[in-house]
Amino acid sequence: MGNATRIREIVFLGLSQNPDVSVVLFLFLLLVYVTTLLGNLLIMVTVTWESRLQTPMYFLLRNLSVADICFSSITAPKVLVDLLSDRKTISFDGCLAQMFFFHLIGGVDVSSLSVMALDRYVAISRPLHYVTIMSRGRCLGFIVASWVAGFIHSIVQISLLLPLPFCGPNVLDTFYCDVPQVLKLACTDTLVLELLMISNNGLLTTLWFALLLVSYVVILLLLRSQAGEGRRKAISTCTSHVAVVTLHFVPCIYVYARPFSPLPSDKAISVTFTVISPLLNPLIYTLRNQEMKSAVRRLRNRLGLYDSMGQ
């Protein structure tokens, strides 16, 4: 099947066909998206300018905030435009590009959360050697590796899809392009490829999630030997990490670790996965982290001082 017969654009049915519901969803998702941008930008600025947060954990958290801004921006702006449009379309090449960046940043998120788990393990099991083991150069290497891992993962997904013939239909009952939906548009038998992608994405994601949970259980067990304020602070940090890991992985497992047949709950899970999940990181890390809250207050006071000096 040649490229001449390949579909040129894809039509989304979107989140709702009802104009009134679409307006409500637009206002809600716009609020979520703007809050996501501001919350993650706040983390980035605070970690960058607050000297007390120049530690490996916050250096890695800043990278996660960069990834979350990118991840939400891959789908949210298009969703917002489509909610106010009668016809919701994307070019086929644009669809491939959206999938590429979606899986690139998704891979970065997974890798970053894994490195953050390693960071907590080293901090608690090897506290005297923590700064040496998790040096700035090593942390930077981990961050580069997470982006390379995301790139490789994404290239694999796109490489499996590109050879397929897409000659129609071109309608997707969703609001963004992803492998499970686009694969169904191929005019050929995709069962083997679907099983391959379920094992590549779903099975590995499930196993990785289980491994991360086990690692945090080990970390919490190690904390039993500690006492005082340091123990309470470490437990609070680890529970925040577990919450973020769970909120990232559970929707991901739902999407990729089952047959790619549509279910009624798919859109709600997809909205949580693509738009709401990146918002939860700054909420969890700022509301549950006393150190971050104190740093934000100091930054706010410093900016207030600069404003008064300017006047």
State the pLDDT confidence band at 3, using cuts at 50, 70 and 90.
very low
- Given this model, what pLDDT does residue 309 score? 44
Q: What is the pTM of this model?
A: 0.88
Q: Give the chain's end-to-end CA distance (angstroms, integer).
A: 69
Distance of CA 103 to the CA centre of its chain: 9
Q: What percent of the chain has pLDDT over 70?
A: 94
What's the CA angle centered on 178, arms 17 and 69, to 5 degrees?
Answer: 90
Average pLDDT, the chain: 87
- Long-range contacts of the stretch 222-227 (C-beta < 8 A, 24+): 222/124, 222/125, 223/124, 226/124
* Cα distance between residue 58 and residue 37, in whole Å: 18
pLDDT at residue 254 above 80? Answer: yes
* Cα distance between residue 107 and residue 154, in whole Å: 8
Structure tokens at 152: 């490789």
* Cα distance between residue 261 and residue 73, in whole Å: 26
Contacts of 219 (CB under 8 A, 6+ apart): 117, 120, 121, 124, 125, 238
- Given this model, what pLDDT does residue 1 score? 42
CB 307, CB 65: distance < 8 Å: no
> What average pLDDT does this structure show over 109-128?
90
Tens of pLDDT, residue by residue over 47-68, are: 888 888 888 988 999 999 999 9
What's the CA angle centered on 6, arms 187 and 89, to 5 degrees?
Answer: 100
Range of weakest confidence among 55-59, 69-73, 151-155, 301-305: 301-305
* Cα distance between residue 299 and residue 301, in whole Å: 5
Helices marked H in 226-265 = 229-256
Specify whether the backbone of 12 is left (phi greater than 0), alpha (psi in -120 to 50) or beta.
Answer: beta
> What average pLDDT does this structure show over 179-202?
87
Give the count of beta carbons closer than 10 Å to the beta carbon of residue 186: 17
